[in-house]
């Protein structure tokens, strides 16, 4: 019998997040350019006689336990393949970079591989609007409420610093505080980007429409973006998702690493990581244990 699978659950970063409308059921229509990081959680699945979940890693403390955990809720969609799940948590929870959705999508990829079926994400939308884009974990344009996922090829890698000021934000609360809901979408066709600087020039003309309401609720978010933007070599700083994690883009991996080291000294209580966005195709594939 197979010993099990190890699946990487990369952080999801919204490079843009335009809110373009609201449906009658309250969910918001989005137009978002989403990329994935080489920073993330790890899920291990080992075949067992009953489902179980063990959480470890530096961010394990704030993970919802037991049946509330999205990873277990996804696992229960496969009643015939019980597994012992170990979730090694590196990403802060409720932080705008996927967290629970990335873990749920990783469990789904692993179980689909064990069951020999395609990792089709449609069944997962009702568990979380961010899960469909996290299932392939490839650069994509996400539209609708999250169910329309179109791969975007040819984006340059981005070397970034991810920073979270250790304030958990509630996604429903941020959407509720949004006053302008009919904002312009992204341009229909994305131009070609030759390097990080060209992509950042284009990104600077786009937005995260949740950033203003999020900063009103958690002023630490504005401080985080300003601090990132002031680091030497930072090309662009913006909040991801509904916050509070922000990303700063740098021209090279060395600059990003140096900036992260400096930031971690100035803000020892923040969660700070240097990483690379994009090009995750092979990293997100389940590996045999």
Stretch that binds ligand C5P, among 46-54, 122-130, 153-161, 266-274 (CB under 6 A): 122-130
Question: Would you say 12 or 89 has its CB closer to ligand C5P?
Answer: 12
Is residue 92 a contact residue for ligand C5P (CB under 6 A)?
A: no
57 in a labelled binding site? no
Q: Which of these is catalytic: 31, 103, 130, 159?
A: 130
Q: Is 12 a residue of the active site? A: yes
Q: What Rg, from alpha-carbon coordinates, does the chain have?
A: 18
251 in a labelled binding site? no
Concatenated DSSP letters of 135-201 = TTTS-EEEEETTTEEEE---PPPEEEEEEE-S----HHHHHHH----------SS-----SHHHHHH
Question: Would you say 15 or 196 has its CB closer to ligand C5P?
Answer: 15
User: How many positions of this chain bind ligand C5P (CB under 6 A)?
Assistant: 11
Q: Which of residues 146-205 bind ligand C5P (CB under 6 A)?
A: 146, 171-172, 175
Q: Read off the tokens for 110.
A: 């692993």
Closest approach of ligand C5P to the CB of residue 81, in Å? 25
Q: Which of these is catalytic: 12, 31, 89, 209?
A: 12
Q: Read off the tokens for 262.
A: 């400096």
CA distance 6 to 146: 26
DSSP label of 64: P
Is residue 15 a contact residue for ligand C5P (CB under 6 A)?
A: no
Q: Is 103 a residue of the active site? A: no
63 in a labelled binding site? no
Question: Would you say 174 or 259 has its CB closer to ligand C5P?
Answer: 174
Is residue 53 a contact residue for ligand C5P (CB under 6 A)?
A: no
∠ CA 36-15-247, nearest 5°, is 80
Q: How much helix, strand and coil, in percent to the nearest 5, is found in the chain?
A: 30, 30, 40
Q: In sequence order, which ranges of the chain are alpha helices (DSSP H)?
A: 70-75, 100-115, 131-134, 171-177, 196-204, 211-217, 220-230, 253-266
Residue with tokens 């990581």: 273
Binding test (CB under 6 A) with ligand C5P, winner from 27, 51, 193, 202: 27
Q: Which of residues 135-154 bind ligand C5P (CB under 6 A)?
A: 145-146
Is residue 31 a contact residue for ligand C5P (CB under 6 A)?
A: no
| 58 contacts 89 by C-beta, under 8 angstroms | yes
Is residue 74 a contact residue for ligand C5P (CB under 6 A)?
A: no
Binding test (CB under 6 A) with ligand C5P, winner from 85, 97, 105, 129: 129
Residues engaged in binding ligand C5P (CB under 6 A) = 27-28, 30, 128-130, 145-146, 171-172, 175
For the annotated catalytic residues, the residue numbers are: 12, 130
Where is the binding site for ATP, in residues? 92-102
């Amino acid at each position: 019998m197979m010993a099990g699978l190890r699946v990487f659950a990369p952080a999801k970063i919204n490079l843009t997040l335009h809110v373009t409308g609201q449906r009658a059921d309250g969910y918001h229509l989005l137009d978002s350019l989403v990329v994935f990081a080489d920073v993330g959680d790890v899920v291990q699945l080992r075949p067992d006689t009953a489902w179980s979940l063990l959480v470890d890693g530096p961010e394990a403390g704030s993970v919802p336990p037991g049946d509330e955990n999205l990873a277990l809720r996804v696992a229960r969609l496969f009643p015939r393949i019980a597994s012992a799940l170990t979730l090694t948590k590196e990403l802060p929870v409720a932080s705008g970079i996927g967290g629970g959705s990335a873990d749920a999508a990783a469990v789904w990829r692993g179980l689909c591989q064990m069951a020999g079926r395609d990792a089709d994400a449609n069944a997962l939308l009702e568990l979380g609007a961010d899960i469909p884009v996290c299932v392939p974990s490839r650069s994509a344009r996400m539209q609708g409420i999250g169910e329309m996922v179109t791969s975007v090829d040819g984006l340059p890698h981005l070397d970034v610093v991810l920073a979270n000021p250790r304030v958990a934000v509630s996604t429903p609360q941020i959407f509720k505080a949004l006053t302008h809901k009919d904002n312009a979408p992204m341009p229909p066709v994305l131009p070609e980007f030759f390097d990080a600087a060209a992509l950042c020039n284009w990104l600077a003309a786009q937005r995260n429409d949740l950033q203003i309401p999020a900063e009103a609720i958690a002023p630490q978010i504005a401080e985080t973006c300003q601090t990132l933007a002031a680091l030497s070599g930072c090309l662009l700083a913006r909040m991801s998702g509904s916050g509070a994690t922000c990303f700063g883009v740098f021209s090279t991996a060395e600059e990003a690493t140096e900036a992260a080291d400096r930031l971690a000294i100035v803000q020892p209580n923040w969660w700070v990581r240097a990483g690379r966005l994009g090009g995750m195709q092979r990293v997100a594939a389940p590996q045999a244990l």
